Structure 1
Amino acid sequence: MSRLIKSRYSIPDHAKQKVISIKHLDSVDPNFEQSREVTQAEYNKMLEIAHQEAETIRMQAIEEAERIRVQLSSEKQNWDIEKVNLIEEAKANGFQIGFEEGKHVGYNEASQYIQQARDTVNASKMDYGKYLQSAESTILELAIEVAEKIINDKIKEDEQNFLSVVQNALKEVRKQREIQLHVPPIYYELVLAEKEELLQLFPIKPSLFVFPDESLEENGCIIETANGRLDASIDTQLFMIKEKLLEVLESEEG
Structure 2
Amino acid sequence: MASSSKVIRDTAAAGARGLRAFSMRDIEDERRRIIAAAEKDADEVRKLAREILDQAKTALARIRQQADGVMADSEKRGYEKGYAEGVAKGIEQGRREAYEAERRRVAEETAEVAKRLADIAAAIEAEHGMHTARAHIDMIEFALTLAQKIVKREVGIGHDVIKENLRKAIDLVAEKSEINVRLNPSELDIIEEYVPQLKNVFAKLKSIKLVPDMDVSPGGCIVQTKGGEVDARIETQLEEIERQLLEMSTRRNGHL
**TM-score interval (norm. to shorter):** 0.3 to 0.5
TM-score (norm 1): 0.46
User: Is the radius of gyration larger for structure 1 or structure 2?
Assistant: 1
TM-score (norm 2): 0.45
